[in-house]
Structure 1
């Protein structure tokens, strides 16, 4: 079975919009694990506009499944990962002002940099994953960096699925997964995966070890749970 790691950034965004600790990021993480998810993912950014660096420190003490920290390996991020020692670190080439992740690494032009960063994490027994587009050259480059896994950036698949181009959209990911497996890389995936498109992706992409899903999962939880909560309020107001 492919593991599900739930990205809880959106929970932190909601908390930060009001101040205080509601919703409580730590409780939500524990609840998600209790509901059966096999991992918790966070993506702290330098401005801490959703997940804060202190959240990473606090979550380390309560996450009992796999703990995955994503981010651009700037010095502050590297220090956080070495301090908290998550199960996995996923390297993402985010610009500081990026709203969300929007591209994979050029593993060829950034080869030396990635090798150095990955060596540091592996010396500390932290599994490493590189966020990449389904580009075979980039996957070959990822294998040369010493990374343990890749995370396939799936926005193009999600867009193709929505447009009805299922086979065309998933083909590059099938080929990328085959190559990564042959190069002894583990395979993760994430970005815009949802209840609508995840099953087809899983059926067509071999050797898929883990998906990281946040935005869609939280939005779907609002829709699927909204009727229940509204009626709970109505019952209390009778």
Structure 2
């Protein structure tokens, strides 16, 4: 069954806008789990623009599903992950000037470095996922690092300006998921997914988890976190049923 990882970064974005103590990402995670989240995702950026190290430490103690720590492949972040020991780590690219993550890792150009990071984390029993574009060379390189998972970057699909472009990008994602499974990788996906475009991605065969944040947090400001998560879970469950009946 496809699972839902709820990214709560933007709860922290609201808090950091006023440099105050609320809203609390830990409380948001509890409500997300009550709403049916299968996991909690946070991105501890080097610039600490939203999630803080203290948040990750508290979440490690309180999350009852699983905690996915998104981070750059730096020595500082590896040391933090080895100390906190999240349930798994997703390695992502970072640029300080970006508003949000703009694309996947260049695994091809950094396979040795990323392989070392993957080995260090997985030797500590922390499975690693690599956030990549659905490109055959990046998928092949990801398998070479020894990572257990990839997370396919769905941004181009989410930002498609026409039905034709959207179908094309969806096909690229489906092909990427197939190639990854053939290479022995487990497949997650995320970035830019909303209540209006998630269903099609959820129907891709072999997808294990979708990590979704901004749209859920946005909806939660109007209807509450539990309901916002429940509504997204219903989309994933509908996709799972449709896949079952399609087979």
TM-score by length of 1: 0.90
Conserved 8 A contact 2:103-2:155:
no
Who is 1:231 aligned against? none
Who is 2:237 aligned against? none
- Aligned partners of 1:35 and 1:133: how far apart in 2? 30
CA positional deviation for 1:103: 1.4
The question of 1:215 aligning with 2:214 is answered yes
Q: Structure 1 stretches (4+) deviating beyond 3 angstroms? A: none
| Deviation by residue 1:73-116 (Cα, 9 ceiling, x = unmatched) | 11221111111111110001112332211111221210100110
Could you tell me which runs of 5 or more consecutive residues in structure 2 were left unpaired when the two chains were aligned. 225-247
Who is 1:187 aligned against? 187
- Aligned partners of 2:100 and 2:68: how far apart in 1? 17
The question of 1:4 aligning with 2:4 is answered yes
CA positional deviation for 1:208: 0.5
The question of 1:53 aligning with 2:53 is answered yes
- Aligned partners of 1:168 and 1:48: how far apart in 2? 36
| Deviation by residue 1:132-159 (Cα, 9 ceiling, x = unmatched) | 0010111011011100000000011112
Who is 2:133 aligned against? 133
Conserved 8 A contact 2:57-2:84:
yes
- Aligned partners of 1:46 and 1:159: how far apart in 2? 26
Who is 2:117 aligned against? 117
Conserved 8 A contact 2:8-2:41:
yes
DSSP-derived class of the 2:150 partner: strand
- Aligned partners of 1:27 and 1:91: how far apart in 2? 25
Could you tell me which runs of 5 or more consecutive residues in structure 1 were left unpaired when the two chains were aligned. 226-238
TM-score by length of 2: 0.87
| Deviation by residue 1:38-64 (Cα, 9 ceiling, x = unmatched) | 000000112211000111111100011
The question of 1:100 aligning with 2:137 is answered no
- The two structures, once aligned, show a CA RMSD in angstroms of 1.5
Any residues of structure 2 matched to 1:150-229 within 5 Å, and which?
Answer: 150-160=150-160, 162-165=161-164, 166-203=166-203, 205-224=204-223
DSSP-derived class of the 2:57 partner: helix
Change over 3 Å in CA distance of 1:81–1:39 after alignment to 2: same
